[in-house]
Structure 1
Amino acid sequence: MAQAAKRPYLPELDIVRAFGIMAVVMIHATSSIVVRYDHHSTLYPLYVFLNIFSKFAVPVFIFLSGFVLFYNYYDKSFTAKTIGGFYKKRMGKIIIPFLFFSFFYFGATRLVQFGFTDVQTFIGYFTSWSFLEKLLIGKTYTHLYFVVIIIQFYVLAPFMLYAVKRFPALGKHMVWIGLMTQWLFIYKLANVFDLINRGSYAFTYMFYFAAGAFIGIYYMKLVDWIKVTKQHASPQKITAWIVLWTLFMTTSLAEVYLYYRFYMDGRFMMSSKLLELINEVHCVTAGIVLIQLSYWIYDAWNQTAVKALIHIGATSFGIYLIHPIVLYIYREINVGGNSIIFHLWAAGGFVLAMLIPWLFVSLCAPFKWHWILFGPLPSKKKPGATKQPSIEA
């Protein structure tokens, strides 16, 4: 059998990652403000908008992981060597940083909460059942659950790949199967097995992963429908683009309004299932819209800005891991009661939580040990090098 042609490298995907990590930092930078700030303040709706509109952040990263994994591996032979290489590449580069930061954040929070008494007591924190339980579900600090989810998807992905390669017709049905699996887990299985932290399980996000995987499998057929350019335009495609963007904006604004009313009134205006569906459409359409925007940015924007966004995307895992440290320290600053200073302080939290981790991770890239903390990082190519960087998730 002739080997399938290698699929083209997609640098635009790092721009999608850049938007994803900006959304993550925006959520965390505004979360405490949304809860604690005066709900009747003139700018309070703006903070709610920034926080809730950005809720696509983690789902888009999961969507992108499904896209990239199936884009890279669907046409490859399914052999023991391929699967071994798959796990070797991914597990090594994500588990070690996860373990390092799990120990770091858990130790730091114990010190903040209880102070330091003696070495034996401090070591005891890490030998307790509480630590092991939190480690397994990514709860040693609030944001690490995402890494656990990605590890779970890495475990599941080869089995999903095998299924769609063994039964190709399954590929066409991945989206609705993913949606049904997600709903079955959230509203049935999670309750049956009394899983309190359902956000720490991959099945809670299966719809997003499956939607990305679907696009990854059929990318070569779908790319002309995704790219928004004059040469790709036709009445059918323009209609599809309008429907996509209308769904994205409608569900995004609906979710913002529903959460705003919740913060004001203390209750949601609709059932949890309908709210879940709105959120799912918001997040999946966001994934496709961000890919479209990234194509346009890559072609139309200044090259310096494009390279900066690509670099942010390529270092997004490291930024994700360490930005909470910056926010924690920054929130210790007392800004008093002046509203203008408060709003400047709020904006500064987002800017610094993006820039400081980005700078720190970038400075670590030349050192061989950087993978222990942040996994693979982009480095300057040697003169004459033509090899393209990997787009693997």
Structure 2
Amino acid sequence: MRNNHRRVSLDEIQLARAFAIIAVLVVHATSSGVTTIPRDSLLFPVYNFLNIAGKLGTPTFIMLSSFVLFYNYYPRVTNWMLMKKFYIKRLKFILVPYIIFSSIYFVIKWYIYYDYPSLSFALNKFLTLLALGKAHPHLYFVFISVQLYILFPLLLITFKKLPFLRKNAIWIGILMQWIWVILNKNYFHITLKGSISLSYLSFYFVGAYLGIYYFEIREKMRNRSYKDRIMVPILIGYGAMVIGYTGFMYLVRVKAYDEVAVLLPHIVTSYLYEFTWANNALLAGLVLFYLAHAANKRFSSHTKALFMEIGATSFGIYLIHPLFLMMFRGFLSTGSPLLYHSWQLLTFIFIGLLSCIVVRFTFRYIPHYWVIFGKLPEQQKLSVRR
């Protein structure tokens, strides 16, 4: 299938990225609360809900990355020159910032937490963590993205050659991901499965499907009855999975899950975490994608401009915000309940604000800014520099 629509930049993607990065900030800002406040506190369920329900940001970024790749590259003739340019861009704008920030986080944690016996030991440790996307917990997203970029030419050619695959990509991606989950649990026993692309195949394939059929889907969604047939089940399913996922994690965190687990079949308890996480994240990504399109129509010009800037700088915000989180966590760890909870809210606001300011300052004033934070979309780059 060839789509003759010109591939223009979609504002909806930047809005979806803005929503996703806000969710990431919510998760990281509440991580202290869910680990330090008493489990019988009235606010613990609130922290738990925000911390777990917010874990849609990174999977949504993965789905959006797949969408953008297939949206831009599927209609084009696939040849060596196209793939060469593709890899050069990703090496420059993704891999280089990943290596730089991996180095930054490794050195900071080395200085604060660790005492490695020698420089060679530290270097070997760093290279191992770099190869696994583990120099800091949030960097696994970039590591997963690099795996997608490596696989992308093969996926692109396969989708082009196999109509059955591209037309049924959603359920095939979900099936393949679950085959991997079951095989890993019973045979491979790989503990770092969260850093392996096979754990995100449903997000890759759903993004690919949306990217290939974007204009057809958008046209069909103009029909109210079609939109209701698609979005009502997705919204209901997402609501159910949010309740299921946050409820499951609440029981685990208050150490009540074992009492419930004995009442459930073994197959349910074996895969309940994976089932609630995967379905919540996938449906959340679809809901955010839809909300971004709704917001593009309904936001005022000023509100849209704000979220477009957040979306355009989201990769840089993602990379740097844990640095500010470390700093804010060092200022206040105890105090009265009112002071403590207020500080958690201020932490969320300030790490987002400072990250955005630093990223935008870098884009505006520092030559070769892409080495640090990747490439800013051209239209956003121009608007920032006016």
In the other structure, the counterpart of 2:230 is 240
Q: Of the candidates 337, 340, 363, which is equivalent to residue 339 of structure 1?
A: 337
**1:376 counterpart letter in structure 2:** K
In the other structure, the counterpart of 1:22 is 22
Secondary structure class of the residue paired with 1:379: helix
**Conserved in 2, the CA contact under 8 Å of 1:245 and 1:289?**
yes
Shift of the 359–381 alpha-carbon distance from structure 1 to 2, 3 Å rule, reads closer
Unaligned runs of 5+ in 1: 227-231, 386-393
**Conserved in 2, the CA contact under 8 Å of 1:4 and 1:76?**
no
Q: Say whether residues 1:258 and 2:258 are aligned partners.
A: no
CA apart distance, 1:175: 1.8
In the other structure, the counterpart of 1:159 is 154
Q: Say whether residues 1:362 and 2:352 are aligned partners.
A: no
Q: Note the alpha carbon deviations across 1:322-380, whole angstroms, 9 max, x for none.
A: 11111111111235331111110110111111111110000000222211110112422
Q: Of the candidates 114, 128, 136, which is equivalent to residue 141 of structure 1?
A: 136
Secondary structure class of the residue paired with 2:137: coil
Q: Which has the higher helix share?
A: 2
Q: Distance in 2 between matches of 1:364 and 1:166?
A: 42
Q: Distance in 2 between matches of 1:276 and 1:3?
A: 36
**Conserved in 2, the CA contact under 8 Å of 1:186 and 1:204?**
yes
Sequence identity percentage: 32
TM-score, length of structure 2 as denominator length: 0.91
Q: Note the alpha carbon deviations across 1:266-290, whole angstroms, 9 max, x for none.
A: 5364524233223222222212211
In the other structure, the counterpart of 1:220 is 215
Q: Distance in 1 between matches of 2:158 and 2:120?
A: 44
**Conserved in 2, the CA contact under 8 Å of 1:190 and 1:196?**
no
CA RMSD of aligned residues (A): 2.3
Q: Note the alpha carbon deviations across 1:208-258, whole angstroms, 9 max, x for none.
A: 1111111111111111355xxxxx243343233221111111111221111
In the other structure, the counterpart of 2:111 is 111
Q: Note the alpha carbon deviations across 1:174-221, whole angstroms, 9 max, x for none.
A: 222222222222231476444221111111111111111111111111
In the other structure, the counterpart of 1:373 is 372
In the other structure, the counterpart of 2:206 is 211
Q: Of the candidates 167, 171, 174, which is equivalent to residue 176 of structure 1?
A: 171
Secondary structure class of the residue paired with 2:382: coil
Shift of the 291–143 alpha-carbon distance from structure 1 to 2, 3 Å rule, reads same
**Conserved in 2, the CA contact under 8 Å of 1:23 and 1:55?**
yes
Q: Say whether residues 1:124 and 2:120 are aligned partners.
A: yes
Does 52-61 or 262-271 show the bigger shift? 262-271
Shift of the 224–272 alpha-carbon distance from structure 1 to 2, 3 Å rule, reads farther
Does 314-323 or 263-272 show the bigger shift? 263-272
Shift of the 15–71 alpha-carbon distance from structure 1 to 2, 3 Å rule, reads same
Shift of the 249–125 alpha-carbon distance from structure 1 to 2, 3 Å rule, reads same
State the number of aligned residues: 374
Secondary structure class of the residue paired with 1:265: coil
Q: Say whether residues 1:9 and 2:9 are aligned partners.
A: yes
Q: Note the alpha carbon deviations across 1:135-186, whole angstroms, 9 max, x for none.
A: 1011111111111100000000110000011222210122222222222222
Secondary structure class of the residue paired with 1:261: helix
TM-score, length of structure 1 as denominator length: 0.89
Does 45-54 or 366-375 show the bigger shift? 366-375
In the other structure, the counterpart of 1:388 is none
**Conserved in 2, the CA contact under 8 Å of 1:29 and 1:327?**
yes
**1:369 counterpart letter in structure 2:** H
Q: Distance in 1 between matches of 2:248 and 2:315?
A: 31
Q: Distance in 1 between matches of 2:131 and 2:384?
A: 40
**Conserved in 1, the CA contact under 8 Å of 2:67 and 2:207?**
yes
In the other structure, the counterpart of 1:36 is 36
Secondary structure class of the residue paired with 1:51: helix
CA apart distance, 1:83: 1.0
**1:21 counterpart letter in structure 2:** I
